[in-house]
Structure 1
Amino acid sequence: MNLLAVVDASVNKEGLQDLTMQRTVSSVPFAGRYRLIDFPLSNLVNSGVNTVGVFPSNPFSSLLDHIGGGKSWDLDRRKNGLFFLPVTQRNGGLSTVGPFAALEEHMQFFTKSIQPYVVVINSFVVTQLDFKDMLKQHIKSGADLTEAVSSGVSLKTYILSKELLIELIQTHRDKKVVSVEDVVNLKKSPYTFNDYEYSGYFAIIDSIQSYFQASLALLDEENRKQLFLPDRPIYTKVKDEPPTRYIHGAHVKRALVANGGTIMGSVMDSIISRGVCIKKNTQLEKCVIMQKCVIEENCDLSYVIADKEVHIGEGVVLRGTAEQPIVLRKGAIVTKEDL
């Protein structure tokens, strides 16, 4: 494959702050058993791209723990494979994709690679992009930069020649541009531009509301069919856990439930991650519950996002709205006395 990949995991989205205080946007859990970065990494592997540089900013320990050496994506190779390339920007990077100052810190990644083209991809847009087809159309167009779009919406993903990317990195201060996205948005001369039209499912995760809406949208079977394709699987870190146990009296309807949990109560229109325990006489409706949360008896939750390892005490009632879901931060302990 003549394509080198840059996964920009340094992008900061202020609207996701409640979920990114201890992690990058790219490592935010999604769809019960995945992280957001699983989708770009899987798209790259499914497109035959096997040289991938991940450029995260702090805090990235959660991301590093998740992707490791890239084994789950068949990127743990002696030649090429996955390169974890942290940048010095702290507390999140810019809100623009492909920042030249960050890429400049790892110029050897580009100068030592043999691929003539580069795809610059973000980790907050969930898609099933075929980069092999996108590269083919980029070359055919003769343009300097190609941007992936869907019905006029930018998917913040770009293909250009490695030679041009190196030139932009080296001259960005003189040209007064900060990123690949910036060059495309400004339609900066003397470059030429092309759009690659993508027609599949996509979700842009840049706020709590968009995260919540995109999560519950996966309860729609048609959306799942477009995102989880049999011939283009979404890979993630493998965890050997038993199936979720459904205790007598449990009621589950229109929900995505990952493995390793225990359900004794009622779950409707919700996303339940690995290792979650929902106890007796508890009702959940339109909730996103992340890994290893415990919800005690007699709780009533609706429109709630609970980050990892949240403990909700007995009898707690929490009701948000579709526009403003309640967010419980990672590791929070919530009791009736707190409300």
Structure 2
Amino acid sequence: MNHSLLGVIDATAYHESLEDLLVHRSLAAVPIAGRYRLIDFVLSNMVNSGINSVAIFPKSQYRSLMDHLGSGKDWDLNRKRDGLFFFPAPAVDTMDAELGSFNHFAQHIDYFYRSSQEYVIISNCYTVFSMDFIPVIERHLEMNCDITEIRYQGSSLEVFLLKKSLLIDLIENRHVTGYGCMDDVVKDETSPYTRCEYEYIGFAKKIDCINSYYQTSMKLLQPKVWSELFQKNLPIYTKVKDEPPTRYLKGSNVNHSMIANGCFIEGKIKNSAIFRAVKVGKNTSITNSIIMQKSQVGENCVLEYVILDKDVKIEDNVRLIGDPINPIVIRKGMVQGALMNS
């Protein structure tokens, strides 16, 4: 059974509780799991499902996202035909904040008309999961559905499958029907469309607040969870960077942690995620924390339940203690010194 799929990723989402991580980037570009971005998961799912045309609809702060994805080469989407497309919103107001805004899609309706694919997968950009969409379309056709919503443990994953012609109809008649997005359609019990549900089995987490970001990152340190998410037959792709191996110097000690390439470790790290090119000084202890790319932690520091964004500098003798529910977040590029902390 060969029915072509078009991928649509709505990257307009903004959650205020994640503001500290969204000052310089969109939600889709938030780093996670040492070397990935949130968008890598749904984009890899689409590629692994044979989708070779993916449209990304961002709203603002998308320079970091575009830098990460580039031409789509790392996802095999740098193609002469189809491939990776960006369609920024010229003007998106508060009415367009829901997933799959038809007003946003309408600004680029020609893309849908020109594409040759018969079906469309519409997804948010901030769910961490690994899935093959082929069984979804097979069941969609078998049950003669108009719209299939993928769900997980009783809640929507905000992933929808429908015929492209139906999506175009929904976009063009949005002012008549009152439907502003896909969520409006599936929640309307009086709609004329046959709505089906597909239950996803596996690991899935929506990143919609600091707590969900932190807790998901900690769960990924568990081998069982990691193996559920990063499967050999469904790889998660990301931007490739050529970096040297991490150096562990005398006195360093690492336990139950994820350490990316290019790090320089002299201190002690436990139950933490350390991203690329991070430096950790002598006699420093990092526990239950997330340290993003190129951050530097000085000597004689204690960090517990802390999230350091990229390029943060922690000077010597700094003590930062958060808690699992409210971890301390230091914004990108900030400098934290002992005097500031006293």
Match of 1:26 in 2: 28
Spell out the pairing of 1:93-132 with structure 2 (5 A cutoff): 94-132=96-134
Separation in structure 2 between the aligned mates of residue 237 and residue 49 of structure 1, nearest angstrom: 19
- Superposition deviation, residue 90 in structure 1: 5.9
Match of 2:285 in 1: 283
- Superposition deviation, residue 95 in structure 1: 4.2
Give the root-mean-square deviation of aligned CA atoms: 1.3
Residue of structure 2 aligned with 1:212, choices 204, 211, 214: 214
Match of 1:4 in 2: 6
Separation in structure 2 between the aligned mates of residue 122 and residue 229 of structure 1, nearest angstrom: 21
TM-score, structure 1 normalization: 0.97
- Superposition deviation, residue 173 in structure 1: 2.0
- Superposition deviation, residue 15 in structure 1: 1.9
- Superposition deviation, residue 305 in structure 1: 0.5
- Superposition deviation, residue 264 in structure 1: 0.3
Spell out the pairing of 1:254-265 with structure 2 (5 A cutoff): 254-265=256-267
1:144 aligned onto 2:111: no
- Superposition deviation, residue 188 in structure 1: 5.0
Separation in structure 1 between the aligned mates of residue 71 and residue 323 of structure 2, nearest angstrom: 40
1:271 aligned onto 2:273: yes
Alpha-carbon distance change, 294 to 114 in structure 1, aligned in 2, over 3 angstroms: same
Separation in structure 1 between the aligned mates of residue 94 and residue 337 of structure 2, nearest angstrom: 32
Match of 2:238 in 1: 236
- Superposition deviation, residue 181 in structure 1: 1.9
Moved more, 226-235 or 90-99: 90-99
Separation in structure 1 between the aligned mates of residue 12 and residue 57 of structure 2, nearest angstrom: 6
Match of 1:171 in 2: 173
- Any conservation in 1 of the 2:96–2:180 contact (CA below 8 Å)? no
Separation in structure 1 between the aligned mates of residue 134 and residue 144 of structure 2, nearest angstrom: 16
- Any conservation in 2 of the 1:278–1:294 contact (CA below 8 Å)? yes
1:134 aligned onto 2:131: no
- Superposition deviation, residue 183 in structure 1: 1.4
Separation in structure 1 between the aligned mates of residue 170 and residue 92 of structure 2, nearest angstrom: 23
Spell out the pairing of 1:42-81 with structure 2 (5 A cutoff): 42-81=44-83
- Any conservation in 2 of the 1:305–1:325 contact (CA below 8 Å)? yes
Structure 2: unaligned runs, 5 residues or longer: none
Alpha-carbon distance change, 328 to 76 in structure 1, aligned in 2, over 3 angstroms: same
1:245 aligned onto 2:247: yes
Match of 2:309 in 1: 307
Separation in structure 1 between the aligned mates of residue 31 and residue 95 of structure 2, nearest angstrom: 20
- Superposition deviation, residue 138 in structure 1: 1.1
Partner AA of 1:204 in structure 2: K
TM-score, structure 2 normalization: 0.97
- Superposition deviation, residue 39 in structure 1: 0.6
Partner AA of 2:304 in structure 1: S
Alpha-carbon distance change, 93 to 209 in structure 1, aligned in 2, over 3 angstroms: farther
- Any conservation in 1 of the 2:295–2:310 contact (CA below 8 Å)? yes
- Superposition deviation, residue 186 in structure 1: 2.9
Partner AA of 2:313 in structure 1: H
Alpha-carbon distance change, 136 to 35 in structure 1, aligned in 2, over 3 angstroms: same
SS at match of 1:206: coil
- Any conservation in 2 of the 1:57–1:91 contact (CA below 8 Å)? no
Query: CA offsets, 1:13-69, max 9 Å, x none?
Result: 222111111111000001000000111111011110101101111110000000011
Alpha-carbon distance change, 188 to 64 in structure 1, aligned in 2, over 3 angstroms: farther
Match of 2:18 in 1: 16
- Any conservation in 2 of the 1:26–1:35 contact (CA below 8 Å)? yes
- Superposition deviation, residue 10 in structure 1: 1.1
Partner AA of 1:336 in structure 2: A
Partner AA of 1:5 in structure 2: G
- Superposition deviation, residue 141 in structure 1: 1.5
Query: CA offsets, 1:270-319, max 9 Å, x none?
Result: 00000000010000000011000000001100000000000011111011
Query: CA offsets, 1:116-175, max 9 Å, x none?
Result: 110001111111121111111111111211011112121110001111100111111222
- Any conservation in 2 of the 1:58–1:92 contact (CA below 8 Å)? no
Separation in structure 2 between the aligned mates of residue 92 and residue 169 of structure 1, nearest angstrom: 18
Residue of structure 2 aligned with 1:202, choices 192, 201, 204: 204
Separation in structure 1 between the aligned mates of residue 53 and residue 165 of structure 2, nearest angstrom: 17
Separation in structure 1 between the aligned mates of residue 83 and residue 33 of structure 2, nearest angstrom: 26
User: How many residue pairs are counted as aligned between the two chains?
Assistant: 339
SS at match of 2:88: coil
Partner AA of 1:78 in structure 2: K
SS at match of 1:239: coil
Query: CA offsets, 1:70-107, max 9 Å, x none?
Result: 00000000011111111124699954211111111111
